[in-house]
Amino acid sequence: MSLHLRPVSETEFALVQNVEVEPDQTRFSGTVAQAFEEAEEGVDFHALFEADQPVGFFKLDQLYHQQYDFVRAQDLGLRAFMIDRRCQGRGLATAAVKLLPAYVPQHYPDRHSVILTVNLQNPAAIACYLKGGFTDTGEIVAQGLAGPQHILQLPLHPLRKSEPHRG
Does residue 163 fall inside a structural domain? Answer: no
Host domain of residue 35: 3-155
Query: Rounded to an integer, what is the distance from CA 87 to the centroid of its chain?
Result: 17
Does residue 160 fall inside a structural domain? Answer: no
List helix spans (H) across 108-159. Answer: 123-131
With a CB cutoff of 8 Å and minimum separation 6, the contacts of 62 are 42, 43, 44, 76, 108
Contact 66, 19 (CB under 8 A): no
CB atoms under 10 Å from CB of 90, counted, come to 13
Domain of residue 86, CATH code: 3.40.630.30
Does residue 166 fall inside a structural domain? Answer: no
pLDDT at 33 over 90: no
Does residue 91 fall inside a structural domain? Answer: yes
The pLDDT tens digits for 64-113 are: 999 989 999 999 999 999 998 888 888 899 999 999 999 999 999 999 99
Name which of 46-50, 68-72, 108-112, 163-167 the model is least confident about: 163-167
> What per-residue string of b and e applies to 2-39 under the rule 16 or more CB within 10 Å gives b?
ebebeebeeeeeebbeebbbeeebeebbbbbeebbeee
Count of domains forming the chain = 1
Distance, in Å, from the CA atom of 167 to the CA atom of 148, rounded to the nearest integer, reads: 50
Does residue 31 fall inside a structural domain? Answer: yes
